Amino acid sequence: MGQKGSKIEVTKTDKAILQIKLSKDELHRYTRRTEILIGREREKLKALLREDPKNGKKNPRARILLKKIHYQNHLLEQAADQLINLENLVSTVEFKLVEQQFMMGLKQGNEVLTKLNKEFSGAEDLMDSVADQIAYQDEVDQILSSSVVGGFEEELDRELQQLDQEVNGPAHEPAKAEPNLPSTEGLPALSEPEAEEPQQEPQSDGRQREAVLT
Amino acid sequence: MTEKLPPIYNFPPLYTCQPNVLIREQQLSTWCDLILDFAKTNNAWCMSQEGTVIKDSESSGQSIFRNESIQRSISVPFRDQIWNKMVQSEKAIKSNNGVFFILWRSVDYWSSQILQWFETTGKVNQVVTVYELLEGDETLGWEFHGMHPSLCEESLQKLRDRGRATLLKEQNKIMGVKVV
């Protein structure tokens, strides 16, 4: 029992609310009882008037009954007012509890926020340093890209062309243009291709040497 | 009060204790059903041993064990047998002063109904008095409205055993409950 009871905490406010509610219940019970009483007395009065329609109005008992009913009605109104007061009190207390929770939440949120903000104290230096690093990176990038753009590209083009010639044969391009050319029949053999080859060789040799050097 | 009961209620042999065991068993269970039916249609939470409905701690109306229209009534020993059967089959709880709580719904059903009320009306984590729960305006229209406080206590104990409620006592009497 103790174990299960301790699971749910019963605070002082809970007990206070219970007290308020108990008195509220008492008032509720009272109003109910009075309502029943008034109803009964009204019935009695009606019966009295019905019994003696002529003298009923002058009957002192009828007057007393009516007075009683009025008095009870008055009490009932008072009780209803008090009931509303108590209900208001209960809801105010309950609202205050919610507000308390709200305050606690706010407090905790604030604490966490300040703690997090503390961690951001070096943020400006960090941002400056990051900006510096980015600027340096840009510089390095520019240097690297400009150095690549030098004669290296041309060399690449040349090597590509050479490879193309090796793979597809030196007659690759001329073969395409052949149909437009005049017939070579009957002409003496050309010594041009032979002369061209020695011209190219030193170039490739030079490049090989370059490659070795690098 | 007994008009709405099924026609078997006007069957004369039902009022004499049958000697055959099998038939008597049948008879007893018929009586149990009749009592449950009776309690449900009259919204009766407690009945006296004599078979009358108890409201506001005073018994009123006629006994279920006496049928005026066919001029029959049940003998005292057989009546006690019926009550025994009711208690055994958990359709009734006998309280200290010879009053029976009729469980036309099980205690578990009531406790879950109460829990449901707490949850739908947002009363969770608030203190609510037993009176408020049973007689207050906020439970109007719920089945447990008007329930007998002792029976309500029984249902609340179930909730406490499940760890969902704490019972607040005042002068050694359970007055309030807090549901989580």
Write out the H or E segment, with its range, that includes residue A186: none
- What is the torsion angle, in degrees rounded to the nearest 10, for the CA atoms of residue A191, residue A193, residue A199 and residue A204? -160
Smallest Cβ distance to B127: which of A5, A17, A28?
A: A17
pLDDT for residue A172: 53
> According to CATH, where is 1.10.10.10 located in chain B?
107-179
String of DSSP letters for A134-154: HHHHHHHHHHHHHHHHSTHHH
The pLDDT tens digits along chain A (214 residues) read 444 444 567 888 888 888 888 999 999 999 999 999 999 999 988 888 888 777 767 778 888 888 999 999 999 999 999 999 999 998 999 899 899 999 999 999 999 999 998 888 888 888 999 999 999 999 998 888 876 556 677 888 889 999 999 898 876 555 555 556 666 667 666 665 554 455 554 554 545 555 555 4
CB contact under 8 A, A4 and B160: yes
Beta-bridge partners for B128: B177
Cβ burial A135-146 (10 Å sphere, 16+ → b, else e):
eeeeeeeeeeee
CB contact under 8 A, A18 and B127: yes
Architecture of B107-179 per CATH? Orthogonal Bundle (1.10)
- Chain A segment 1-20 residues within 8 A of B by beta carbon are 4-5, 7-8, 10, 14-15, 17-18
pLDDT for residue B27: 92
State the burial class of residue A80 (Cβ atoms within 10 Å of its Cβ: 0-12, 13-18, 19+): middle
* Count of CB pairs separated by less than 8 Å, A with B: 50
Judging contacts by C-beta atoms under 8 Å, the chain B residues touching residue A24 are 129, 132
CB contact under 8 A, A18 and B132: no
Distance from CA of B97 to the nearest CA of A (A): 25
Q: Which fold has domain B7-102?
A: Arc Repressor Mutant, subunit A (1.10.10)
More confident residue, B55 or B88: B88
Write out the H or E segment, with its range, that includes residue A87: helix A60-119
What single-letter amino acid sits at B172? N
> According to CATH, where is 1.10.10.570 located in chain B?
7-102
pLDDT for residue A89: 92
String of DSSP letters for B87-111: HHTTSEEE-TTSEEEE-SS-HHHHH
C-beta separation of B140 from A29 below 8 A? no
Beta-bridge partners for B85: none
CB contact under 8 A, A4 and B161: yes
User: Which DSSP letter does residue A104 get?
Assistant: H
Whether A101 and chain B come into contact, CB under 8 Å, resolves to no
**pLDDT per residue over B69-92, tens digit each?**
888 888 889 999 999 999 998 889
Distance from CA of B157 to the nearest CA of A (A): 11
ipTM: 0.73
Distance from CA of A122 to the nearest CA of B (A): 45
pLDDT for residue B136: 85
